[in-house]
Amino acid sequence: MAATVGSIAQTIEKAAPKQWAEEWDNVGLLVGNMADRVERVLLALDGTLEVVAEAKERNAQMIVAHHPLMFRPLKNLRADNPQAEVPLQLLKHGIAYYAAHTNLDQSRFSASRLLGQSLGLREMDYLAVTGYESLVKLAVFVPAADVEKVRQALVKAGVGESITGGAHSTFYAESFFQSNGEGMFRPLPGAEPALGAIGELTRVAEVKLESILPERLSERAIKALLKAHPYEEPAYDLIPLQNRGQARGYGIIGYLPQAESLGNVWNRLLGLLRDEPWADWVDERPKESPRSEQNPVLVREPKSVNMGKNTETCFSGIRLAGDLAKAVRKVAILNGSGGSFVQKALFQGTDLFIAGDIDHHAALDALQGGMAVADIGHFISERPMVHNLAHYLRSAKALQGVEFIMSKADKSPWLVQTSEKQ
């Protein structure tokens, strides 16, 4: 059964709300209609002409991408305007385009966290915290016979799931408290009460059902409550809290189980980027690498690699700066451009900083501060996040009738390769 563009957007925004995006960013549905039906979605990092052509060829009605199409307003939609070419092709073929950019970078699906898990990092935290969820407490008074119906409606709206910023919060769902009491009301002429009679004081055995939820889910929760509650006018409280909800931010920082040489960590990183275990499945538990200090592979740059197991990408552009014998324990990772985060990683005592787009001067600053840097390129550093998003969407119950496929045309723009002698 097909879903709609809107239901897919809503599922993405449950994990990566649009309000998390930077002010300069342009996220959400950029081309298309929220009401359009969707049976197949193509996922990509970039919305290039090749990706749009692939979507048409593979009968995808929607593209979900990381990078937005338009950062600056288009002045026209003329055919001779290169900036308008992709939007025009999308409109011509009736393909919707949705972008989740800096909001997705700050979510639990970031490539930084996935790479950190794959390297086996422990005690991971955000490299740069950008904010915390605002929380509210919802309390609703329900006739005892209808408590479970209302509770289940609230659960489906996301209430009681991963509430606090605690280390184990994500392992709990359907968290509620209930207490018994007596409700009373007098229906007046014109009312259509579910219980009681017009003009008579009605006393009802009721249950007070309470839970905490992110403020951004309040509207959805109240709609679900009103639909499930038997009363015409349910009594409920929505109370702002001082409690901190879950943190969000850019990048991650954590510790290897034990110190390793930079050369060994580099080899393990190369192996992960080459093999892409996340292309097949994602596991929250960090994996143990088969490579070891006693049996290292050669430190070299492969000529090319099949990224995502479906698209050829130049692999030779990744580079490492630092002493291969240096002991590494504390590692920071940032998907996307990392040059502006070098100082933050240095300040936190990082031994190795892994990111994309590290420029010459940022690398020198890092080395001067005693920190090694690995520049794995923008595309390679963010590609795992697209896989992570695909796994999340495939597992969403509301989207079980939709096929989510990874783009084969999505690739790095860089084509320079090393020689065979290198």
pLDDT in tens, 346-399: 999 999 999 999 999 999 999 999 999 999 999 999 999 999 999 999 999 889
Q: Find out whether 253 and 127 touch, Cβ atoms under 8 Å.
A: yes
H or E segment at 4?
A: strand 3-4
The total number of structural domains that make up the chain: 3
Same domain flag for 277 and 372? yes
What pLDDT is stored for residue 311 in this prediction? 42
Could you say which DSSP state residue 278 is in? G
Vertex 376: Cα angle to 260 and 379 (nearest 5) = 145
Same domain flag for 390 and 333? no
Is residue 20 domain-resident? yes
Burial of 28 (0-12, 13-18, 19+ CB in 10 A): middle
Is residue 136 domain-resident? yes
| Residue 125 binned pLDDT confidence (cut-offs 50, 70, 90) | very high
- CATH classification at residue 307: 3.40.1390.30
Q: Which phi and psi (to 5°) does residue 17 adopt?
A: -55, 140
pTM, to two decimals: 0.81
Beta bridge partners of 53: none
Same domain flag for 255 and 317? yes
- CATH classification at residue 173: 3.30.70.120
Give the domain-ending residue among 247, 282, 312: 247
Closest CA to 20 of 220, 214, 223: 214
Other residues' Cβ atoms within 10 Å of the Cβ of residue 179: 10
CA–CA separation, 199 vs 191, rounded Å?
10
Residue 301 has pLDDT above 70, yes or no: no
> Which of 61-65, 109-113, 128-132, 273-277: highest mean pLDDT?
61-65
Same domain flag for 267 and 229? no
Is residue 422 domain-resident? no
CA–CA separation, 343 vs 12, rounded Å?
32
Same domain flag for 51 and 159? no
Other residues' Cβ atoms within 10 Å of the Cβ of residue 328: 21
Same domain flag for 124 and 254? yes
Is residue 270 domain-resident? yes
Give the least confident one: 83-87, 300-304, 308-312, 391-395.
300-304
CA–CA separation, 107 vs 123, rounded Å?
17
Query: 179-227: per-residue pLDDT in tens?
Result: 999 999 999 999 999 999 999 999 999 999 999 999 988 999 999 999 9
Vertex 356: Cα angle to 352 and 361 (nearest 5) = 75
Q: Find out whether 89 and 44 touch, Cβ atoms under 8 Å.
A: no
Same domain flag for 123 and 269? yes
Residue 269 has pLDDT above 70, yes or no: yes
What residues make up the domain containing 18? 3-104+385-406
Q: How far apart are the first and last CA of the chain?
A: 52
Q: Find out whether 390 and 278 touch, Cβ atoms under 8 Å.
A: no
CA–CA separation, 3 vs 118, rounded Å?
33
What pLDDT is stored for residue 162 in this prediction? 75
Same domain flag for 145 and 71? no
Residue 288 has pLDDT above 60, yes or no: no
Is residue 418 domain-resident? no
Is residue 50 domain-resident? yes
Helices and strands per DSSP (H, E), number in the chain: 11, 17
Which position has the higher pLDDT, 53 or 316? Answer: 53
| Residue 75 binned pLDDT confidence (cut-offs 50, 70, 90) | confident
Other residues' Cβ atoms within 10 Å of the Cβ of residue 351: 22
Q: Find out whether 33 and 261 touch, Cβ atoms under 8 Å.
A: no
Residue 184 makes CB contacts below 8 A (sequence gap 6+) with 201, 202, 203, 204
What pLDDT is stored for residue 314 in this prediction? 54
Residues 317-339, mean pLDDT to the nearest whole number: 94
Is residue 420 domain-resident? no
Vertex 45: Cα angle to 35 and 9 (nearest 5) = 25
Same domain flag for 281 and 224? no
As given in the structure block, the two tokens for residue 56 are 């048409």
Residue 12 has pLDDT above 90, yes or no: yes
Same domain flag for 118 and 99? no
Is residue 322 domain-resident? yes
* High-pLDDT (> 90) share of the chain, %: 72
Same domain flag for 193 and 203? yes
